[in-house]
Amino acid sequence: MTQLALITGASRGLGAAIARHLAPAYHIVAVGRTTGALEELDDAIRAKGGAATLAPMDITVPDAMAQLCRSIYDRWGTLDLWVHTAIHAAPLAPAAAMDEAHWTKSMEINAHATQRLVTFVAPLLGSAGRAVFFDDPRAGQKFFGAYGASKAVQMALVRSWAAETEKTGPQVHVLDPAPLATAMRSRFFPGEDRSGLAAPEDEARRLLAQLGL
């Protein structure tokens, strides 16, 4: 029986690679802001004999996320897996010269949206489902003020959720990706030699193997 996986941040990078890896064992509900990239993902999933439901939407819009989760409930009743890779990578900047708009957007996407999604998705996962998040410990590093702080908030939240549900479920996992050859990293480190970075496809395979997927 095909299981159901919700991937938030599925349009590119690690999220897209995870979606491709999970298909066709999972029907993929792919959430992302870029319709064209989601359509390319759908083509790749179909080529493997899998199926996807595309949800081109912004995770920071509460009504959209609530409607998505309601639609999942109405159609399938439950959710087996949630993988959250959606992230905002604010430009690197000194703390004393940080653009407030980038700070606000970082907190909205990386922290506030994650919190709302936890409340929306948890009932769908029930006691048997699993949620997966990815750490990137930049808090306190120079020039990473907005990204590091917002990511630290996200990790604090999900680790609390993991502790709270350890005995009751759902299982909440925090994984540690290797440095990835993605567009997000290139924004942080332009001109970096990318030859030593992990390919998203390879890292998706390695990380999911830790969960037996």
Examine residue 212 and state whether it is found in any structural domain, yes or no.
Answer: no
d(CA 1, CA 60): 32
Examine residue 9 and state whether it is found in any structural domain, yes or no.
Answer: yes
pLDDT (mean) for 52-64: 97
CATH number of domain containing 129: 3.40.50.720
- The predicted pLDDT at position 2 comes to 85
Crossing angle of the two packed helices 113-125 and 62-76, in degrees rounded to 10: 10
Examine residue 208 and state whether it is found in any structural domain, yes or no.
Answer: no
Examine residue 13 and state whether it is found in any structural domain, yes or no.
Answer: yes
pLDDT (mean) for 6-30: 97
Examine residue 210 and state whether it is found in any structural domain, yes or no.
Answer: no
Determine the 3-state secondary structure of 185 from DSSP. Answer: helix
- The predicted pLDDT at position 207 comes to 97
Examine residue 209 and state whether it is found in any structural domain, yes or no.
Answer: no
Residue 193 confidence class, pLDDT cut points 50, 70, 90 = confident
Nearest partner of 98 among 146, 149, 152, 147, judged by Cα: 146
- Paired tokens of 149: 């702080």
- Residue 60, pLDDT > 80, answer yes
d(CA 174, CA 130): 11
The per-residue pLDDT for range 20-53, each reduced to its tens digit, is: 999 999 999 999 999 999 999 999 999 999 999 9
pTM for this predicted structure: 0.95
User: Where in the sequence is the domain holding 86, given as residue range(s)?
Assistant: 3-203
**Partners of residue 56 on adjacent β-strands:** 32
The mean pLDDT of the chain is 95
- The predicted pLDDT at position 187 comes to 79
Examine residue 213 and state whether it is found in any structural domain, yes or no.
Answer: no
Number of domains the chain is built from:
1
Determine the 3-state secondary structure of 201 from DSSP. Answer: helix
Confirm if 57 and 64 have CB atoms less than 8 A apart: yes
Examine residue 26 and state whether it is found in any structural domain, yes or no.
Answer: yes
Residue type, 184: M
